[in-house]
Amino acid sequence: MTITERAPSTVGGSGYDLSRFERRLIGVHLFVAIIALGIGSLIGPLQTFEYSNVNLYQYLEPVLQSYYQGLSLHGVLNALVWTTFFIVGFTTFTTIRGLRRPLRHPRINVAGFAVMLIGLLMAAVPLLLDQATVLYTFYAPLKASWAFYVGLTLVVVGSWISGLGFFLTLHAWRKDNPGVRSPFIALAGVINAAMWQIATIGIAVQMLTMLIPWSLGLIDATDPQLARTYFWFTGHPLVYFWLLPAYVSWYGMLPKQAGGKLFSDSLARLSFWMFLIVSVPVGFHHQFVDPGIPQVWKWLHAVLTYGVFFPSLLTAFTVIASLEYAARQRGGTGLIGWVRALPWGDPSVTTQLLAGILFMFGGISGLTNASYNLNLVVHNTAWVPGHFHLTVATAVTLSFIGITYWMVPHLCGTQLWGRRVALVQAWTWFVGMVIFSNAMHMLGLLGAPRRTPLGEALYVPDEWNGHLLRVSIGGAILLVSVILYLVVMYKTFRAPKVEAALVPEVPIAESLRHPQLTPVWLDRFKPWLIAAGLLVVLSYGPQLVDQIMDMSLNSPGPDFKVW
Amino acid sequence: MSTTEVQHDDGADGALPEEHFKPTGTIFVLVLFVATIILLWASVYVILLSRGVTL
């Protein structure tokens, strides 16, 4: 193909150094994220030890007053705070570095961070005071302090504001570069921000029309069915909000780190656009056993959930092909033997490879969750946390950890401290999660309920005991891994500055095919946004109208604390 | 892998550069993956069937 349009000016890995302000803005996002991961992950093993009847909560009073307060902190800090702050910080980085230009309106992004931080502090106070022990799904009629709801709302609003900043920056770049394909890592980050803005409409409506007025005493009761529908409108695409930044790294950065190239720029973009379309209209697969939703709508969402499998398989193919290309370049041979040629000595690469391996199994258990009939076997069992610890707690979190292994030293002007320690961290996470997650899946198949302090349960049959012990062993190994990670981050942050040539470079992968050969329709927002909007209206509209028309605010919540 | 499986077009005569690569190992990995999906999904389906019907 000959050049028919202007050649892109931005391909490759160098060309724009972040300003001090930009480094600090991204750095404060990462700082909050890592602190949240540290605190949240240190609480997690307490739950796993409880499964073996080792109750450490009694020694932590009054800081932690119950299993459920610990579970709420673990879920909110890890699933909502660590992820959201990391993602906004990382997307700030990929926008600036991908486009090789400063933010168009940096004050917007500063405002976004400020609103998120204020929201986090507002939500943290009731959480720590045991006034928001409602788990990270905050199902009504469990009732939290109004500050918790307003705080979480502000975190989301802050991420919207930052998303606007990313979009305006990309828009300005496009005006300056007509006819040029947007750099993949920048475009993909903005697509994720757009998906997030559509997806969070559900939770925004839930907060503003039901939970906040209820917690303030302006209305007397809630409609739990409608509240759950609003929540899962946002709750499942939340998974893709977490995953897509990891995909940005797997598609756009990991191939470079492995010594290769992105196999297909077109497939990478196509999968992101497909995620934009199919991420949202799938929420009813979380409500398969909710009695108030007609079966036809559950069936429709089950089918659409299987639709998500298509871009997921595209991702698996493209990322593995990119890695295979890299491995072949490094002398790898054989049908499967090439895997050994990947740079397993690089902790940033190893974390992401291990994350990808476990994610394949997370995808399989996810397909089981999404199957209308099979869901009956695993619904509300320990299988479910077993599943999402393979996805958000490994595919996402371990990938984000891998990204920080080059990004934090890059931002700080240092080198990664303790490469071997970081490698041990990656493998202990992998081994700990294999043990933990497999045991949780097995417990789920045996009927063990989720969100239950099984150490106190009187109905535990003998056949559960071995698996409960394995959950605790996995948790202990994961605790070691988290501590190692925090040490590596602290030491890297405090390490002496080194000359620029020794600082880790930004790994931006080239594509096997020049990006300008990617079809122009894979670089346009309009058709994909229209398709996404239409599918949301068709898949949710009539059923949401029905539920709102039939809304019955008759669930005041218990007049006592259930925890 | 023989080097012929990676073909280079270095962009001579105004063409944009592109390489062609046959990801045979990737296809093999994905075949294993799909087989694992079928196996594990079916194992849960058998559990579902073994629990019988509820009326």
- Cβ atoms within 10 Å of A512's Cβ, excluding its own: 23
Q: State percent of chain A over pLDDT 70.
A: 96
A415 close contact with B: CB closer than 8 A: no
Q: Is the pLDDT of residue B54 over 90?
A: no
Q: Is the pLDDT of residue A165 over 80?
A: yes
Cβ atoms of residues A274 and A314 within 8 Å: yes
Rounded to the nearest 5°, which phi and psi values hold at A381? -105, 175
User: Does A101 qualify as catalytic in the annotation?
Assistant: no
Q: Note whether residue B55 is domain-resident.
A: yes
User: Does A6 qualify as catalytic in the annotation?
Assistant: no
Provide the pLDDT confidence category of residue A560 given band limits of 50, 70 and 90. low
pLDDT tens-digit readout, A312-337: 999 999 999 999 999 999 999 999 99
Provide the pLDDT confidence category of residue A500 given band limits of 50, 70 and 90. very high
More confident residue, A8 or A136: A136
pLDDT at A557: 75
pLDDT at A6: 37
pLDDT tens-digit readout, A506-522: 999 999 999 999 999 99
- Cβ atoms within 10 Å of A563's Cβ, excluding its own: 15
What's the mean pLDDT in A389-397?
97
- Report the distance separating Cα A109 and Cα A92, nearest Å: 8
What's the mean pLDDT in A240-247?
98
Residues 6+ apart with CB under 8 A from A375: A285, A288, A289, A368, A369
pLDDT at B52: 81
Question: Considering only CA atoms, which of A438, A428, A433 is closest in space to residue A474?
Answer: A433
Q: Is the pLDDT of residue A300 over 90?
A: yes
Q: Is the pLDDT of residue A350 over 60?
A: yes
Q: Note whether residue B9 is domain-resident.
A: no
What's the mean pLDDT in A265-278?
97
Q: Note whether residue B11 is domain-resident.
A: no
Q: Note whether residue B52 is domain-resident.
A: yes
Q: Note whether residue A336 is domain-resident.
A: yes
- Chain A residues touching B48 at Cβ < 8 A: 373-374, 376-377
Residues 6+ apart with CB under 8 A from A458: none
- In total, how many domains does chain A have? 1
Provide the pLDDT confidence category of residue B51 given band limits of 50, 70 and 90. confident
B20 close contact with A: CB closer than 8 A: yes
pLDDT at B2: 40
User: Does A240 qualify as catalytic in the annotation?
Assistant: yes
pLDDT tens-digit readout, A198-211: 999 999 999 999 99
Judged by average pLDDT, the poorest of A204-208, A231-235, A342-346, A368-372 is A368-372
CA A456 to chain CA mean position, Å:
32
Cβ atoms of residues A409 and A256 within 8 Å: no
pLDDT tens-digit readout, A100-150: 999 999 999 999 999 999 999 999 999 999 999 999 999 999 999 999 999
Q: Note whether residue A10 is domain-resident.
A: no
Provide the pLDDT confidence category of residue B18 given band limits of 50, 70 and 90. confident
Q: Note whether residue A563 is domain-resident.
A: no
Q: Note whether residue B44 is domain-resident.
A: yes
Q: Note whether residue A557 is domain-resident.
A: no
Provide the pLDDT confidence category of residue B13 given band limits of 50, 70 and 90. low
Provide the pLDDT confidence category of residue A563 given band limits of 50, 70 and 90. low
- Chain B residues touching A334 at Cβ < 8 A: 25
Q: Note whether residue A3 is domain-resident.
A: no
Provide the pLDDT confidence category of residue B7 given band limits of 50, 70 and 90. low
What's the mean pLDDT in A349-377?
95
- In total, how many domains does chain B have? 1
Q: Note whether residue A303 is domain-resident.
A: yes
- Report the distance separating Cα A535 and Cα A539, nearest Å: 6
Q: Note whether residue B10 is domain-resident.
A: no
Cβ atoms of residues A250 and A352 within 8 Å: yes
DSSP bridge partners of B6: B21
Q: Note whether residue A82 is domain-resident.
A: yes
- Report the distance separating Cα A480 and Cα A460, nearest Å: 28
pLDDT at A231: 98
**Closest approach of A487 to chain B, Cα-based (Å):** 36
Residue with tokens 């056993």: A289
Q: Note whether residue B6 is domain-resident.
A: no
pLDDT at B14: 66
Identify the domain containing residue A246 by its residue range.
20-549
pLDDT at A415: 97
Provide the pLDDT confidence category of residue B3 given band limits of 50, 70 and 90. very low
**Closest approach of A122 to chain B, Cα-based (Å):** 43
pLDDT at A1: 34
> Which residue on chain B is closest to A367 by alpha carbon?
B41
Cβ atoms of residues B40 and A377 within 8 Å: no
Q: Is the pLDDT of residue A15 over 80?
A: no
CA A138 to chain CA mean position, Å:
18
Nearest residue, CB atoms, A445 vs list B19, B24, B47: B47
Rounded to the nearest 5°, which phi and psi values hold at A525? -80, -40
The pTM of the full predicted model, rounded to 2 decimals, is: 0.94
Question: Considering only CA atoms, which of A165, A188, A168, A187 is closest in space to residue A114?
Answer: A165
- Cβ atoms within 10 Å of B4's Cβ, excluding its own: 7
Q: What does the H/E/C string look like for A462-512? A: HHHHHHHHHHHHHHHHHHHHHHHHHHHHHHHHHCCCCCHHHCCCCCCCCEC
Average pLDDT taken over every residue of chain A: 94
Instruction: Write the ipTM.
Output: 0.89
Q: Is the pLDDT of residue A372 over 50?
A: yes
CB spacing of A321 vs B26 below 8 angstroms:
yes
CB spacing of A336 vs B26 below 8 angstroms:
no
pLDDT tens-digit readout, B38-47: 999 999 999 9
> Which residue on chain A is closest to B24 by alpha carbon?
A335
Identify the domain containing residue B41 by its residue range.
22-55
Residue with tokens 């946004």: A529
Q: Note whether residue B13 is domain-resident.
A: no
What's the mean pLDDT in A362-389?
94
More confident residue, A166 or A10: A166
Residue with tokens 């570095």: A97
- Cβ atoms within 10 Å of B51's Cβ, excluding its own: 11
pLDDT tens-digit readout, A543-558: 999 999 999 998 887 6
A31 is written with which tokens? 């700082």
- What CATH number is given to the structural domain containing A487? 1.20.210.10
CB spacing of B16 vs A517 below 8 angstroms:
yes
